[in-house]
Amino acid sequence: GKGENFTRDWQDFLGHGIFATDGEEWAASRQLLRPFFAQNRVRDLEVFEKHVQLLLYLINGQGQEIDISELFYGFTLDATTDFLLGRSVGSLGNPDSQFAQAFGEVQRIQYTRQRVGPFQRLVPSKNFWKGLKVMDSFIEPFVQDALNHSPEELDEKEAQSTNGSTWLQSVARFTRDRKVIRDQIVNILLAGRDTTAGTLSFLFKELSAHPDIYGKLRREILEKVGSRQAPTYDDLKNMPYLQHCISETLRIYPSVPFNLRLALKDTTLPKGGGHDGLSPVGVMKDTTVVYSTRHLHLNPSMYPAVSASSPPVLDFCPERWETWTPRPWQYLPFNGGPRICIGQQFALAEIGYTTVRIVQKFDRVEKYWGVGDDLVKSEIVMSPANGVKVGFFGDAG
């Protein structure tokens, strides 16, 4: 679990949402989300298309330098709010930089506070409280929208709608507490905006550095769906090289590079004890266990010896997935166990769909980033430290 200390330390930012609670509170939050990530909803990719079209327009394709990472963060915010809150905030093309900057700054300071533990009161927090105020001002209209209708009116709207209610409307039927609704929205924005945008950013950063991989991916996409046709959910699943590119990105750049769990009772870990570290090790109740998904993914002992079919662990090579299959608990981009990411399939569909639409349209992408730009920022969510400066060429029309 997360434990009382984590819930207390994160309550100003995440409140009592799904990422900061245990037990019945956590189960209730997860139950609210579960129906909206059922396969029949995830398979409906139309929610992405209008936002993708604006993204393609802003990319342009004439080779000018753009920070594709910045565009992805606007895109994922719009797609997430459209899908779960019922309307897009329209940040792409007209970015709400104040919210984006505040959201990032609050995360940075919250992560610092978490790392210093008992010394967190020494961390300067002026920008933290300022950022929270900006965030809450951004979220308040959504909260008000949710409360403008009575539970009975929301039941009636759901019965009359062919698509059912939005997630936000379901939350409003569950509670009329403004703080609870606010907390749920913050948690879902953190999950839906930052993780997917980070993965797309790293994927296109690698594609810009490997034109041969971009070319191979584009050939697969054009063979499957051509240069104009929007892919279906089944199309995405039937593009193995696309799936390998996404898996390889998540292997090297897992969205949440560090995580923790608190032992809710006396328990054991399967390895770590004994003189050779291969025996079980006891973990007493209330012990915090910190782990790094990224270090796990990049541990050379998990991979075969370097060869023609098994490149070095740090190399971006989608082909490795043709011969290498990680064992259980070796590859955890979406975590595992009861707290495995409930939005995993939605995220993969959004990443796959967006990638296909971009690669369909542009012949190639060139990297404009150089030495010093190949850095990552590992806070709550991993992201490129200096953005991703690239240029796209060959608009297919």
Q: Nearest to residue 358, comparing CAs of 145, 75, 117, 158?
A: 75
Q: Is the pLDDT of residue 97 over 80?
A: no
Is the pLDDT assigned to residue 386 strictly greater than 80?
A: yes
Residue with the bigger pLDDT between 241 and 32: it is 241
Q: What confidence tier does 96 reach under pLDDT thresholds 50, 70, 90?
A: low
Model confidence band, residue 164 (pLDDT cutoffs 50, 70, 90): low
Q: For residue 372, name the pLDDT band (cuts at 50, 70, 90).
A: confident
Q: How confident is the model at residue 99 (pLDDT cuts 50, 70, 90)?
A: confident
Least confident window among 3-17, 91-105, 327-341 = 91-105
| pLDDT for residue 114 is more than 70 | yes
Q: What is the pLDDT of residues 202-236, one digit of tens each?
A: 999 999 999 999 999 999 999 999 999 999 999 99
Which residues fall within 8 angstroms of residue 226, CB to CB, at 6 or more apart? 360
pLDDT at 69: 95
Q: Looking at residue 81, what is its pLDDT?
A: 87
Sequence-distant (≥ 6) Cβ neighbours of residue 199 within 8 angstroms:
246, 249, 250, 253, 255, 347, 351
Contact 103, 131 (CB under 8 A): yes
pLDDT at 161 over 70: no
List Cα–Cα distances, 189 to 48, 262, 366, in angstroms: 16, 25, 31
pTM score of the predicted model? 0.91
Are the beta carbons of 45 and 349 closer than 8 angstroms? Answer: yes
Read off the pLDDT of each residue in 70-80 and give the average, rounded to a whole number: 92
Question: What average pLDDT does the segment 366-388 reach?
Answer: 89
Residue 175: pLDDT over 90: no
CA 294 to chain centre: 15
Q: According to the model, what pLDDT value does residue 321 have?
A: 96
pLDDT at 13 over 60: yes
pLDDT of 151: 82
The Cα–Cα gap between 335 and 255 comes to 10
Mean pLDDT of the chain: 90
Q: Is the pLDDT of residue 24 over 70?
A: yes
Task: State yes or no: pLDDT of 172 exceeds 90.
Answer: no
pLDDT value at residue 396: 56
* pLDDT greater at residue 165 or residue 144: 144
- Predicted confidence at residue 243, as pLDDT, reads 98
Share of the chain above pLDDT 70, in %: 96
How large a percentage of the chain has pLDDT more than 90?
54
- Cβ(335)–Cβ(19) below 8 Å: no
Instruction: Give the angle subtended at the CA of 233 by the CAs of 67 and 41, to the nearest 5°.
Output: 95
pLDDT exceeds cutoff 70 at 256:
yes
Long-range CB contacts (within 8 A, 24+) of 33-41: 33/167, 33/188, 33/342, 33/343, 34/342, 35/170, 36/83, 36/84, 36/167, 36/170, 37/342, 37/343, 37/345, 37/346, 39/345
Q: Is the pLDDT of residue 239 over 60?
A: yes
